[in-house]
Amino acid sequence: MTDIRNPRDDLVPAMRDIVGPGHVIDDPALMEQYVVDWARRFRGPARAVVRPGSTAEVSAIMRLCARLGVPVIPQGGNTGLVGGSVPAEKAPEGRVPVIISLRRLDHIGAVDHLSGQFTAGAGATLGGVRRAAASAGWVYGVDLAARDSATIGGTVATNAGGIHVIAYGMTRAQVVGIEAVLPDGTVVSHLSGLLKDNTGYDLGALLCGSEGTLAVITAVRLRLHRPVARTSVALIGCDTYDEALSLMVSAVAPEARLLAAEVIDEAGMDLACAVLGAAWPLEQRHRVLTLLEVVDGGDASGLVGLDDADVVVGLDASEKARLWAYRESQGEAFSSLGVTHKLDVSVPLPVLAACADELRDIVGAFPAVEVFGVFGHLADGNIHVEIYGPTAEDDAADLAILECVARYGGSISAEHGVGRAKAAELHLTRSPAEISAMRAIKAAWDPDGLMNPGVIFAAE
């Protein structure tokens, strides 16, 4: 008698054999936290969620999915904001994906004090990595507000930026080695941490920003930094973005070093005050508030020329944390309104002020938009534009924002990635030649198109 069973029917039992019955979830209620994104804007169906506990188990799962032709979505902390960590709203017939959650791969190795490096599993949280580095007398250079949920694998896969890019660079600059599992289950491991190693293509660098479309990252060798001396934080009222940008240069003493330069607009500050239950932080209201953190160069605070400014300066840890909270709560503050559209763009610094002003005018022409706000990483020309009002599916204002950014020579994704949210707009800031070179890389690594389909590249 012919066996007419769909081979995919074997998937869940076979995955249970690999990782143990407790680590495969196919109950829809229990899958909910994995199939909906942090901002609750993107969701889609998954066949199951599998939680491997080792690289060998990831490899076995990948071999199985490749054999059965099942697409996979690698997932870390599910804090990504572009829909890349959750399934598409609709999967083509027979292509409902499996989510591979890497959170159990959360080991963090000992620091090698000679090289200033350690190895972390893909599922270790960014916060855990930062604390482990600090307790050994070092600093991990990437930091962002979702630190206690975002994972090292996720931050590498998105090449996360965050609040200290001006001082340490993006995640790619911290990665000195990587271990990953290819779509056919092959493990590629290069974790020796050699600073100099020009033996062909740098696969780790390629996986930075690959958004789960090429391979599953299982471990990362990370470069650490020496801790900085004392820092000071200043929150300064400004009337324009140009004023904010000038302060970034003029307010930092020559012997001091900038560790962070962030910006919050008036709408975002009002919302932050509401969610924090805190007062407006300055004496007067301002259109734009700039937060600077500087590493002191000597005895003074490292800040200069602020005598006439409306400013509050934090020197001790609790006051610095209080000022940072206004900035760190921005994502949550806008989300407290409901489903918000979160756009993460960058523009060259000389045109940032003009672009931010034009964005306000452009968005004002969409009657569905009830709230518009901007915050972000000023020093990197990276602004997060938040709009509330349009339904989750209505992305007309989003598109107008991205087109405006492209006209200013910017990028439609500064640090969050392309995901599903911006796949159709990739052409706005990458040329046809670049996109076809990227598609060729995708086809070489993932010939059957099983890795996170629909992310970075829209269906052709």
Ligand X SMILES: Cc1cc2nc3c(=O)[nH]c(=O)nc-3n(C[C@H](O)[C@H](O)[C@H](O)COP(=O)(O)OP(=O)(O)OC[C@H]3O[C@@H](n4cnc5c(N)ncnc54)[C@H](O)[C@@H]3O)c2cc1C
Contact residues for ligand X (CB under 6 A)? 38, 73-81, 84-85, 102, 122, 144-146, 150-151, 153-155, 157-158, 160-162, 211-212, 216-217, 331, 415-416, 452, 455
Rounded CA gap, 162 and 172, in Å?
12
> Backbone phi, then psi, for 229, in 5-degree steps?
-70, -165
Nearer of residues 125 and 301 to ligand X, judged by Cβ: 125
CB of 301 to ligand X, least distance (A): 25
Calpha distance 449→214 (Å, rounded): 9
For the CB of residue 76, give the shortest distance to ligand X in the complex, in Å: 2
Q: Specify the residue, 119 or 452, whose C-beta has the smaller distance to ligand X.
A: 452
Nearer to ligand X, 168 or 366 (CB): 168
Nearer to ligand X among residue 100 and residue 294 (C-beta): 100
Shortest Å, Cβ 93 to ligand X: 22
Closer residue to ligand X (CB): 285 or 439: 439
If the CB atoms of residues 183 and 389 are measured against ligand X, the closer one turns out to be 183
Token pair, residue 419, equals 């995901």
The residue with its CB nearest to ligand X is 154
- Residue 62 C-beta: closest distance to ligand X, Å: 11
Q: How far is the CB of 296 from ligand X (least distance, A)?
A: 24
Q: 37 or 395, CB closer to ligand X?
A: 37
CB 372 within 8 A of CB 385: yes
Structure tokens at 151: 């994972």
Q: State the DSSP string of 72-129.
A: EEEESSS--SSSTTS--SS--TT-PPEEEE-TT---B---BTTTTEEEEETTSBHHHH
User: How far is Cα 452 from Cα 62, in angstroms, rounded to an integer?
Assistant: 13
* Residue type present at position 161: G
Minimum gap (Å) between residue 270 Cβ and ligand X: 18
Q: How far is the CB of 280 from ligand X (least distance, A)?
A: 22
Q: What are phi and psi of 325, to 5 degrees?
A: -60, -35
In sequence order, what DSSP letters do the residues of 141-204 get, joined into one string? S---TTTTT-BHHHHHHTT---TTHHHH--GGGGEEEEEEE-TTS-EEEE-S--S---SS--HH
